[in-house]
């Protein structure tokens, strides 16, 4: 996506900023400090934003291939005995998992927070714990069996990735092209 955009518009400077919640993205888009945002979260109505659905994310539990669980299917109660390797506070799927576990009265033995998904994957592969990540970021490791997907009985809300911009913002031709490239990339065009 970025490669195609840079080929088409080499003179345009792109700056990426991590934003961890829909609320922060909404604020930055409304204030004009952000032109466009990729929002990965459960769906929340945002009347001031125009949103285009890109994909529904599959969030999966993963472990090292050699990890042995008490049962074949991971339950919320089993998480109490596991070390969870998690993303930063504010991450939508982390928040959802923590909320679900709290509702079930489950508090994991240990939770280790990372700023980097790559660091989480490496630590899971080293057998330091299990994690809950989007399938797209662990697909390669699952295919080459460096990670193992853990089936689960937990039913969590669906997570979507949308591209969003302020509904009243003037969309330059460059920004319109970026949005089109993103939408087409996710639709497989």
Identify the pLDDT of residue 132: 95
Q: Using alpha carbons only, what angle is made at residue 166 by residues 173 and 39, rounded to the nearest 5 degrees?
A: 100
Residue 145 contacts by C-beta under 8 Å, 6 or more apart in sequence?
Answer: 65
The number of CA neighbours under 13 Å toward the Cβ of 23 is 3
**Domains of the chain, start order:** 2-56+159-187 (3.40.190.10), 59-150 (3.40.190.10)
Radius of gyration in angstroms for the set of CA atoms belonging to the chain, rounded to a whole number: 18
Identify the pLDDT of residue 86: 95
DSSP string, 9-71: -TT---------SHHHHHHHHHHTS-S-EEEEES----TTEEEEEEEEE-EEEEE-TT---SS
Question: For the whole model, what pTM was predicted?
Answer: 0.81
pLDDT in tens, the chain (189 residues): 899 999 999 999 888 887 767 788 888 998 989 999 998 888 778 888 999 999 999 999 999 998 877 677 899 999 998 999 999 888 888 988 999 999 999 998 899 999 899 999 999 999 999 999 999 999 999 999 999 999 999 988 888 999 999 999 899 999 999 999 999 998 876
What is the spatial distance between Cα 84 and Cα 79, in angstroms, rounded to a whole number? Answer: 8
- With beta carbons less than 8 A apart as the criterion, state whether 142 and 25 touch: no
């Amino acid at each position: 996506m970025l490669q195609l955009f840079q080929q088409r518009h080499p003179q345009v400077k792109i700056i990426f900023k991590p934003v961890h919640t829909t609320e922060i993205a909404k604020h930055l888009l409304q204030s004009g400090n952000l032109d466009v945002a990729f929002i990965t979260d459960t769906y929340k109505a945002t009347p001031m934003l125009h949103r285009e659905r890109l994909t529904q994310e599959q969030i999966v539990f993963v472990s090292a291939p050699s990890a042995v669980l008490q049962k074949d299917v991971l339950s919320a109660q089993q998480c109490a005995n596991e070390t969870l390797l998690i993303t930063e506070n504010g991450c939508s799927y982390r928040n959802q998992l923590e909320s679900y576990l709290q509702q079930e009265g489950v508090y994991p033995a240990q939770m280790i927070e990372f700023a980097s998904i790559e660091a989480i994957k490496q630590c899971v592969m080293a057998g330091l714990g299990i994690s809950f990540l989007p399938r797209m970021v662990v697909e390669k490791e699952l295919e080459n069996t460096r990670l193992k997907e853990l089936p689960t009985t937990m039913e969590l809300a669906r997570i979507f990735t949308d591209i969003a911009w302020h509904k009243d913002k003037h969309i330059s031709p460059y920004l319109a092209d970026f949005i089109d490239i993103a939408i087409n990339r996710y639709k497989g065009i």
